[in-house]
Amino acid sequence: MRIALYGYGKMGKAIEQAALAKGHEVPLKVGSANAGTPPVACDIAIEFSRPEQALANMRLCLEAKVPVVVGTTGWYDHLNEVRALVQRTGGTLLWASNFSIGVNLFFKLNRYLAGLMDPHPRYSVHIDEVHHVHKLDAPSGTAITLARDIDLKSQRYSHWKIQEQGQEPPAPVPVPAPIPVPIRSERTGDVPGKHSITWTSPEDRIIITHDAFGRQGFAAGAVVAAEWLHGRQGLFTMEDVLGM
């Protein structure tokens, strides 16, 4: 495939290397200097730019009838707008808060655990996420997805809220009084991404964690998603790619 890359920072460069290693071409790399360049003569686009640029890039690709894989986060308030754009253009778009295969398996584990914990109100939950200092959105899209999935599987939680570092987790949550899932965000060094879900009772604690060692897992997953998306039409997520 001939891949257009929108966003050519560290993540974009990692995706380029992953794509080239699998025999694909990357004839177009779009950064701030050539923003707005359409994906002419490309089979698919992969978008890993910035939240304020993502919508314009999606629109550019959909109007050009080029399928686009979107890894940028921080734009999800506009998801209905994007869904309508896909329908209007008859286009193809796949979005995910995280393209790592391991993280998507972690999402499934989180949903399963949340369902198991829901009947046990002595346990309260919170999410911790740590990323590099250059990540613009906080909490991360991955943390928001984790919170959303707890919300879907629990009668005791609804939506999410930021919790300050060092603040004590909430007390056990009785039914029926749903509260937001607390998320603690930290930005430090060059951490690729670490997410933990903690369920705490007065007697014990259960923690599940995904800790990324680098950007390679995200990049490889984005290329897998692009390969899967080629030739399809509609709006998809990573769950479609993995059959989850």
- Contact between residue 71 and residue 47 where contact means Cβ atoms under 8 Å apart: yes
Asked if residue 182 lies in contact with residue 156, where contact means CB atoms within 8 angstroms, the answer is no
pLDDT digits (tens), the chain, 244 positions:
999 999 998 889 999 999 999 999 999 999 989 999 999 999 999 999 988 999 999 999 999 999 999 999 889 889 999 999 999 999 999 999 889 989 999 999 999 999 999 999 999 999 999 998 888 778 988 899 999 999 999 999 999 999 876 666 666 655 566 899 999 999 999 888 899 999 999 999 999 999 989 888 889 999 999 999 999 999 999 989 988 6
Would you say the C-alpha torsion 27, 30, 34, 36 has a positive or negative sign? positive
pTM of the shown model: 0.78
pLDDT of residue 73: 86
pLDDT of residue 172: 61
What is the rounded radius of gyration, in angstroms, for the C-alpha atoms of the chain?
19
What is the model's pLDDT at position 160?
94
User: Can 131 be counted among the known catalytic residues?
Assistant: yes
Extract the tokens encoding 105.
């398996």
Under DSSP, is residue 31 helix (H, G, I), strand (E, B) or coil?
coil
Catalytic residue among 120, 126, 132, 135, which?
135
Give the Cα separation of 30 and 136 in Å (integer): 19
**What pLDDT, on a 0 to 100 scale, did the predictor assign at position 137?**
79
Angle between helices 101-117 and 216-229 (to 10 degrees): 90
Q: Which pLDDT score, from 0 to 100, does residue 141 have? A: 86
Give the pLDDT score at 214. 83
Is 135 marked active-site? Answer: yes
User: How many of the other CB atoms lie within 10 Å of CB of 242?
Assistant: 16
Among candidate residues 108, 126, 131, 153, the one labeled active-site is: 131
Q: Sort 181 into a burial class: Cβ within 10 Å, 0-12 / 13-18 / 19+.
A: buried
Provide the 3-class DSSP secondary structure of residue 125: strand
Please give the single-letter amino acid code of residue 20.
Answer: L
Q: How confident is the model at residue 167, as a pLDDT?
A: 62
Contacts of 33 (CB under 8 A, 6+ apart): none
Closest CA to 46 of 67, 32, 63: 67
Structure tokens at 189: 């060094």
Q: Are strands 194-200 and 124-131 parallel, antiparallel or unpaired?
A: antiparallel
Q: What is the pLDDT of residue 193?
A: 87
All structural domains of the chain, each given as residue ranges with its CATH number in brackets, are: 2-99+215-242 (3.40.50.720), 101-211 (3.30.360.10)
